[in-house]
Amino acid sequence: MRDCGTVALGIGDDAAIIKTTPNTVVCTDLLAEGTHFIVTDDNSLHLAGRKSLAVNLSDIAAMGAVPKTAFLSLLLNRKNALHAAKCITLGLLRLAQDFQVSLAGGDTCCWDGATVINVTLTGDLIQSQPILRSTAQPGDAIVVSGSLGGSLLGKHLTFEPRCHAIEKILEYTSLHSMTDISDGLACDLNSILRPSNVGATIDAKAIPISTDAQSGHPILNAITFPVNAKGSPDWTANRPLAHSLYDGEDFELLFTLPFDQATGLIDGVHHRKLDLGCDLWIIGTVQEEKGLRLKYQDQIFDLPAGGYQH
Amino acid sequence: MRDCGTVALGIGDDAAIIKTTPNTVVCTDLLAEGTHFIVTDDNSLHLAGRKSLAVNLSDIAAMGAVPKTAFLSLLLNRKNALHAAKCITLGLLRLAQDFQVSLAGGDTCCWDGATVINVTLTGDLIQSQPILRSTAQPGDAIVVSGSLGGSLLGKHLTFEPRCHAIEKILEYTSLHSMTDISDGLACDLNSILRPSNVGATIDAKAIPISTDAQSGHPILNAITFPVNAKGSPDWTANRPLAHSLYDGEDFELLFTLPFDQATGLIDGVHHRKLDLGCDLWIIGTVQEEKGLRLKYQDQIFDLPAGGYQH
């Protein structure tokens, strides 16, 4: 068989053959026009192709793995299929190059409907074990890798998957649990807490709220936030905070680890000993008491479940 | 990590972890409502789910591999999403069970459009090397695993992927080249001949034409066949033959191997020493002279390229 990095046999036969380690990490994500991206011009197609890989890169990073090979399925409107295929693939390949990912195969079909892109991505574990959602421990610090909220203004298309960051982080420490923020901090933190049988309190003042979330841009006005029957913060008085909790598609890493290791890691970043390409923030603590709580203006609120509905 | 056959970590985290051999075969196929299947009732959704896996099983078989783990992406109309997801997944899982395939992960999204299904399937090679399209040799017999044509009447949804057959065939012999018939015998045989730098002549009388292709069903009347400027058989006088050459979606195996091995294999099937679950037919010979020719009514025609357009 031919030998091209991790791809033993690439595009051109009935299937590809990829070189794998005994435990291969695999994720798949589907993006639909009008739901996950909008097509206006060539650049919007590039960005859609970029995003189709980027969301999978974020999933692979969130397992504690490095990405390896991608498979791209395209469903294109027949009026503009060839041009759209080129633009989408170009956007994907540019990002693939940044992360040494090989495009090993795929499928292309035409129809009269909107554009649909599916990417399947494989990866190899960085450490011997994956970093799961279900293994957070009481006392852990909760850390995020970037500022949150308002991604609809552009970050949902242009975000930097935290693949390089997680490789460096795992050189220094072992994390207890991890996911990436795709549905919103509140929702994704719950996806760690529930399977781990633990709870948490996060501190509103510690959450890195993005400048986009603070912009008051009219495009964000349509977003509504869940409320709790037992009382929630007044979201209308602090929409940027609500955006950081509920908007989703931030694609930042969200992980937990012992407090001393978290502070050590952040010291390394702040003193420029450790260049992750992003900052890290401790936003709260994992606790034995189940449920997700928010410390806000010296009160503790039960955070209602919710997340961005595409 | 948990241990469930080939799936070390299944649905529920950011990605799955599958146990793999050093060379993992991977294929992916996307099916769209209105193009690859039509939704009328629950059964049509079952069949769509079945087909989404079956087309990938056929690809994995055509590499000389056994299927292992599947990943399912669903894009569903939000009006009926949960019910459609259940029906499609059920159809897929029933077929998966027949071939010991594990559903290891996936993605589900909703929109206002038609149903889209993408399946990515991994497999392990049966022999040390894959059976490629590009390695046919002059003198090889050309063999198909079932009757061809008219699949639009139902076989395109209900066909039996030839996974068990190829496992048994590769116990007895090594094939020179192989693909599966998805775009039509003429098109898919060309996809072997061209990369192999060879040609072939097939014998119209030797092609197993399905009863569906011979049915004269009105649904098949809309299919048109390519003609060759230098002269083609009169397809209107023999539409069943044309269907067997051009309809596509037969999902039978198409392979080449030395003649004596082909006759030995077929003897084994005919004398019931070898139960493949299908019959085998030698339909022609690989030749040094490039191009694909059809022997029909004692004449040799250059077969025009073409295949089913969804």
Burial of B298 (0-12, 13-18, 19+ CB in 10 A): exposed
Q: Tell me the pLDDT tens digit for each residue of B275-290.
A: 999 999 999 999 999 9
Q: Pick the more confident residue, A33 or B304.
A: A33
For B77, residues 6+ apart whose C-beta sits below 8 A from its C-beta are: B84, B110, B111, B112, B113, B114, B115
CB crowding A166-194: b at 16 or more within 10 Å, else e: bebbbeebebbbbbbbbbbbbbbbbbbbb
State how far the Cα of B227 lies from the Cα of B293, in Å rounded to an integer: 13
B127 at interface of A, judged by CB pairs closer than 8 A: no
Under the banding of pLDDT at 50, 70 and 90, the label for residue B113 is very high
In chain A, which residues have their Cβ closer than 8 Å to the Cβ of B8? 23
Question: Mean pLDDT over all residues of chain B?
Answer: 94
Residues 210-239 of A with CB under 8 A from B: none
B63·A116 Cβ contact <8 A = no
What is the ipTM, given to two decimal places? 0.94
Identify which of A107, A130, A180 has the shortest CB distance to residue B29: A107
A23·B36 Cβ contact <8 A = no
- Identify the bridge partners of residue B30 per DSSP, sorted by sequence position: B118
State how far the Cα of A107 lies from the Cα of A124, in Å rounded to an integer: 24
Average pLDDT over residues B127-144: 97
pLDDT of residue A309: 47
Whether A170 has a pLDDT exceeding 80, the answer reads yes
Whether B2 has a pLDDT exceeding 70, the answer reads no
Token representation of residue B42: 């629950």
Q: Tell me the pLDDT tens digit for each residue of A102-150.
A: 999 999 999 999 999 999 999 999 999 999 999 999 999 999 999 999 9
> Contact A145/A58 with Cβ under 8 angstroms?
no
Strand, coil or helix: B67:
strand
Question: Mean pLDDT over all residues of chain A?
Answer: 94
pLDDT of residue A3: 44
In chain A, which residues have their Cβ closer than 8 Å to the Cβ of B119? none
> Contact A118/A73 with Cβ under 8 angstroms?
yes
> Contact B92/B37 with Cβ under 8 angstroms?
no
State how far the Cα of A111 lies from the Cα of A74, in Å rounded to an integer: 11
A15·B71 Cβ contact <8 A = no
Under the banding of pLDDT at 50, 70 and 90, the label for residue B309 is very low
Residues 34-53 of B with CB under 8 A from A: 34-36
Q: Tell me the pLDDT tens digit for each residue of B207-247.
A: 999 999 999 999 999 898 988 777 788 898 999 999 999 99
- Identify the bridge partners of residue A284 per DSSP, sorted by sequence position: A142, A202
For chain A, what percent of residues have pLDDT higher than 90?
Answer: 85
> Contact A141/A282 with Cβ under 8 angstroms?
yes
Q: Pick the more confident residue, B83 or B232.
A: B83
pLDDT of residue B306: 65
Could you write out the DSSP letters of every residue in B260-300? HHHHHHHHHHHTTSS--SS--EEEEEEESS-EEEEEETTEE
Sheet with B7-9: strands ordered across: A102-111, A65-77, A116-125, A23-32, B16-19, B7-9
A118 at interface of B, judged by CB pairs closer than 8 A: yes
Q: Pick the more confident residue, A246 or A309.
A: A246
Could you write out the DSSP letters of every residue in B149-196? S-GGGTHHHH---THHHHHHHHHH---SEEEE-SS-HHHHHHHHHHHH
Closest CA to B301 of B250, B208, B225: B225
Strand, coil or helix: B251:
coil
Q: Tell me the pLDDT tens digit for each residue of A275-297.
A: 999 999 999 999 999 999 999 99
Average pLDDT over residues B195-202: 98
Residues 1-20 of A with CB under 8 A from B: 1, 8-9, 12-20
> Contact B77/B109 with Cβ under 8 angstroms?
no
Q: Pick the more confident residue, B2 or B110.
A: B110
Average pLDDT over residues A247-267: 97
For A121, residues 6+ apart whose C-beta sits below 8 A from its C-beta are: A26, A27, A28, A53, A56, A57, A59, A60, A67, A68, A69, A70, A71, A101
Could you write out the DSSP letters of every residue in A81-94? HHHHHHHHHHHHHH
Whether B3 has a pLDDT exceeding 80, the answer reads no
B35·A195 Cβ contact <8 A = no
A102-111 and A65-77 as β-strands: parallel, antiparallel, unpaired? parallel
Q: Tell me the pLDDT tens digit for each residue of B9-52.
A: 988 899 999 989 889 999 999 999 999 999 999 999 999 999 99
Average pLDDT over residues B97-105: 96
Under the banding of pLDDT at 50, 70 and 90, the label for residue A1 is very low
pLDDT of residue A100: 96
Which pTM value belongs to this model?
A: 0.95
pLDDT of residue A145: 98
Whether A230 has a pLDDT exceeding 90, the answer reads no
Token representation of residue A184: 């919103």
A65 at interface of B, judged by CB pairs closer than 8 A: yes
B28 at interface of A, judged by CB pairs closer than 8 A: yes
